[in-house]
Structures are given as structure tokens and as C-alpha cells.
Structure 1
């Protein structure tokens, strides 16, 4: 089974550091994306093995998204 990870992070340098670090360790990265809407769109296409979520995405809280 392929290891896939969705990265949802609105700070570009952090998102790219996570992406490169995970790819070097054999993960296939989905994203990164910076908004809940972008993450939702990706999840309609593919479900990752795991997800790394920034709690604060601009003015949106990812926890509010998880409850819906």
C-alpha cells in the first residue's frame, strides 16, 4: 500500500519543508494546499493515508471543518 499524505498548511515555506521532508522518506504528498476548500476538493478525488493539518488557516479553523 502506498503511503500518501495530505498537507494543509497556509504558510508556503512550512508547507514546502514538510513536502520535501516527507517525500525524502517515501511518502507521496497530496498538495500542499492552503485552504479548507482546496483540501475538500482534493479529498473528493483521493483519500490519503494520513493528513497533516494546520489548525489555523488564515481566519478559518480546521477544527470547524472537521466537525461538519
Structure 2
């Protein structure tokens, strides 16, 4: 079964590029949410992993979206140009990676999130800052 990925990003060019990379990697992108309402609606499709920006069309709602998605059992990774905004962590989320991200980074953070979902003890990818304290921020 292929992993289902939710993209929470309001910059459509960035979101569409991420969606194309996710498809090329063999995962199923279930949609793009540009705000909190759309994220809630797409969460009903039960994604395995969510890649979440912080500052969205409706403001700095990414942290709340991340908490809500994590509470549903979705593996949340923040992908943002402002990682310091969540430096203290967000309950339930795995961690954060700084934009811009390339195809390899997207692949490695999704693989990491899936492994964590499966309960495997894996090392985070380079550039990833974990909220669980298992690595030192870069």
C-alpha cells in the first residue's frame, strides 16, 4: 500500500512542485490545502503524512493545523522558511525542515515519517530538526 500525503502550502507553485515529486516517488498526494479549512477537509481522506507550512493563506495557522493533524494520527513534518517559529516544537509533530527543499529532501522526510508511523527507530534525514530531542538542531 502506498503512503498518502497531504500538502499544506499556500504558494501554489511550491505545492504543485511538491505534489509532482510525491507522485514521481510513487506516493499518493491526496490534495493541497492552502488554509485551515481545506486542511481539515482533506484530513478526512486519512493521509499518512502531512507536509505543513507555517504561514498560510489564513495567517500563521500551520502550527495549529499540525497539532490537529497529529491528533488524528497523521505524521506531521513542517516544511517552512521560518523553522525558528516552531523551535520549541509542536505537540505530536515529528519536526521541521527548512525551505527551500529539493526532491531528495522531500523523499527523505517522507521516508522518515513513514518509518516513524510504522514504529521503526530510524535516524532523521540531514537538515531535519526533530521535536523529540533525538538530534541536535543544525
CA distance in 1, matches of 2:36, 2:20: 22
| Contact preservation (8 Å) 2:6, 2:31 | yes
Q: Which moved more, 1:53-62 or 1:26-35?
A: 53-62
Question: Which structure carries more relative contact order (alpha carbon 8 Å, separation 6+)?
Answer: 1
> Which 4+ stretches in 1 moved above 4 angstroms?
none
Q: Does 2:64 match 1:39?
A: no
Cα drift, residue 52 of structure 1: 0.3
Output the CA distance in 2 between the equivalents of 1:21 and 1:67: 25
Correspondence for 1:48:
47
Q: Is the 8 A contact 2:53 2:62 kept in 1?
A: yes
* Partner Cα distance (2:47, 2:42) in 1: 9
TM-score for the superposition, normalised by structure 2: 0.45
Gaps of 5+ in 1: none
Give the number of the structure whose residues are more often helix, by fraction: 1
Point out where structure 2 has 5 or more consecutive residues left out of the alignment: 69-138
Aligned to 2:83: none
Q: Which has the larger radius of gyration?
A: 2
**What's 2:19 paired with?**
19
Q: TM-score of the superposition, structure 1-length normalised? A: 0.85
